Chains A and B, each alone.
Chain A
Amino acid sequence: MIEPEESGKEQQEQEMDLIRRFILFGILFRVVMVDMDSTHQVVLKLTYDSIFQELSRWAERQHHAIRRLLRQRGCYVVRSQKQGHAYVVQYRQRGYLREAIYSIEILRAECQELIRLWVSGYQQGEKAK
């Protein structure tokens, strides 16, 4: 929930960051499933579907959690689409229609970072056990 003393500026900055994370997790959970299908085209000794599915489920859960948080703050993503070398997202923020223009290359790199985060989190869980 939003703290009462949180200024409008901070709130807006947080929401811009939330939108970005929402987009990243949304892309990640879909891309992982597409990549899983791609691995089916290759003959492998073992199947790695469970890893892909677990990663995709984790990303999807994060995606939905952030969406709930955004809705609580009155933010909705209206439209997102690829435009040339950028990924353009239009979102409504308490009535105002705003736009974010992400570089696709950066989104790919950030998704890669999320996978690294997921792997390190998974490894930490293993150690705790």
Chain B
Amino acid sequence: MTKANKRIIFLIDMQSFYASIEKAANPALRDQPIVVAGDPERRSGVVLAACPIAKTYGVVTAEALWQAQQKCRRLVVVRPRMETYIHISMQITQIFESFTDKVEPYSIDEQFLDVTGSVHLFGDVYQMAAQIRQRVWLETGINCRVGIGENKVLAKMACDNFAKKQEAGVFWLKKEELEETLWKLPIEKLFGVGSRMKRHFHRMGVYQIGQLARLSPAVLTQRWGVNGEVLWRTAHGLDDSPVSLRTYDTQKGIGHHMTLPRDYHTAAEIKVVLLELCEEVARRARSKELMGSVVSVGCRGADLDAANGFGRQLKLEEQTNDATTLYEAVCCLFDRHWQGTPVRSVGVNLGQLVPDNVLQLNLFTDNHRRRSLAHAMDGIRSKYGPDAILRATSLLGAGQARERARKIGGHYK
């Protein structure tokens, strides 16, 4: 039996999600090494998912497609179908909701479940996990792994560090056993520690999670502020956040980012893409009935290194969700900070959001008219598709709007 004050949280992760869907949908692919990757003709061809067979050849997620093909000559490349993946992800959420009402999608292929109140209906914790795995397998053809913990962070680390590496696919990471399990792992296995943070810790002589856990939280707070304390709490398996659909309700910013198919060299070309991004940001802000007063622009070069680009922000005179106003501010930032270097990646973000139910009247521009026009355009786009109405500049060679309309999150629908 579980103690009354302890929660039981599952983090369920789908194995090679996109590749598993493609294999389930096409039996001819089941015994072959496959990767789901962007269009190989374009520079955006990176591996989004590799099946376990492809992984045995050393193919890894996020590497360039040509590199993956060099590792495995008989690699089958499947183009992504993002709409299908989203539908299957929602179907899996529905399956989970028949086990508990507390389901929180964490990403397209990972979901948190709080099963504290319903575990007794399905036997014990392990039986419930097995039933969930069986149902997902039979109904979607996807193998999933279950990490179990008394909070979200333990469940996540149980899944990533243990469940994924075991045949059984289920692991319960208990707080009282952390010293024998989690603390023995290298520091980079801690949730929240990436390659840069790992280097910092190595410089401090911290190589294992256990060493971090034994440090004073004050040492970490002094160095990294609140993030340091969060890392210390993570190492000790402390996390009070609830499993809730409302976790992401508070939106701080609305942004869009695009990796371009080639280097853009001239300001005119880059501004075409910036305008398209402003349109998308403004449209999303309007759909959420929000306006923002801080706009930020980011540009990076071909190696996508931050040092070869810039990221700057500007406070607007008044809140807006109008694409033209946004574009003027974006151009101002771009003209001021762009050094003339080739650009491969651009992004626009609108921050400091407030509800858009108040309109600041302006003597010199007809804001009401602009807003009506924007809403009319939104109506056309939502009815006939995002490329139903475009700016003329999007028809230039540099324009990406028509290509983007065929994609979700930068990958083909």
Q: Check: B67 CB closer than 8 A to any chain A CB.
A: no
Taking the closest CB of chain B, its distance from the CB of A67, in whole angstroms, is 18
Contact A101 B25 (CB under 8 A): no
C-alpha gap A105/B24 in the complex (Å): 8
A-B contact pairs, 22 of them (CB 8 A): A9-B127, A9-B131, A85-B91, A86-B94, A98-B98, A99-B98, A100-B139, A101-B91, A102-B140, A103-B87, A103-B91, A103-B140, A103-B141, A105-B24, A105-B25, A106-B24, A106-B25, A106-B139, A106-B141, A108-B25, A109-B27, A109-B141
For residue B186, CB closer than 8 A to chain A, the reply is no
Q: Contact check, A103 vs B88: say whether CB atoms are below 8 A apart.
A: yes
For B, the interface residue count at a CB cutoff of 8 angstroms equals 21
Instruction: Please indicate the chain B residues that have their CB under 8 angstroms from the CB of A125 in the complex.
Output: none
Q: List which A16-60 residues lie within 8 A (CB) of chain B.
A: 16-17, 20
Number of A interface residues in the complex (CB < 8 A) = 23
With beta carbons under 8 angstroms apart, the residue of A85, A102, A109, A112 that contacts B139 is A102
Q: B84 — which chain A residues lie within 8 A by C-beta?
A: 85, 105
Instruction: State whether the Cβ of A116 lies closer than 8 Å to any Cβ in chain B.
Output: yes
Do A13 and B98 contact each other (CB < 8 Å), given the known contacts A103-B88, A106-B25, A109-B25? no
The answer to whether B134 has its CB under 8 Å from any CB of chain A is yes
* B26 within 8 Å of A (CB atoms): yes
Interface of A: prevailing SS? helix
B95 and A101 form a contact (CB under 8 A): yes
Once the chains bind, are A106 and B27 in contact (CB under 8 Å)? no
Q: Which residues of B contact A (CB under 8 A)?
A: 24-27, 84, 87-88, 91, 94-95, 98, 123, 127, 130-131, 134-135, 138-141
Cβ of A12: which chain B residues have Cβ within 8 Å of it?
131
The answer to whether A95 has its CB under 8 Å from any CB of chain B is no
Report A47 CB to chain B, min CB distance, Å. Answer: 28
- Which A residues are CB-close (under 8 A) to B139? 20, 100-103, 106
Q: Are A84 and B87 in contact (CB under 8 A)?
A: yes
Kindly identify which residue among A16, A20, A99, A113 contacts B27, using a CB–CB cutoff of 8 Å: A113
Which residues in A have their C-beta under 8 angstroms from that of B134? 13, 16
CB distance from A99 to the nearest CB of B (A): 6
B91, A116: Cβ atoms closer than 8 Å = no
Residue from B98, B131, B140 in contact with A106 in the complex, judged by beta carbons closer than 8 Å? B140
Give A50-75 as 1s and 0s: 1 = Cβ < 8 Å from B's Cβ atoms. Answer: 00000000000000000000000000
A105 to B25, CA, bound (A): 6
Shortest CB–CB separation between residue B179 and chain A, in angstroms?
Answer: 32
Q: Among B25, B87, B138, B140, which residue has its beta carbon within 8 angstroms of that of A16?
A: B138
Interface centre among A9, A85, A105 (most CB of B within 10 A): A105
Q: What's the nearest-Cβ distance from chain B to residue A102, in Å?
A: 5
A20-B139, A100-B135 given. 6 additional CB < 8 A pairs?
A: A13-B131, A16-B138, A17-B138, A20-B138, A84-B87, A98-B98
Q: Chain B's nearest CB lies how many Å from the CB of A19?
A: 8
Given A9-B127, A85-B87, A103-B141, are A109 and B24 neighbors across the interface (CB < 8 Å)?
A: yes
- Complex CA distance for A27 and B84, rounded to whole angstroms: 22
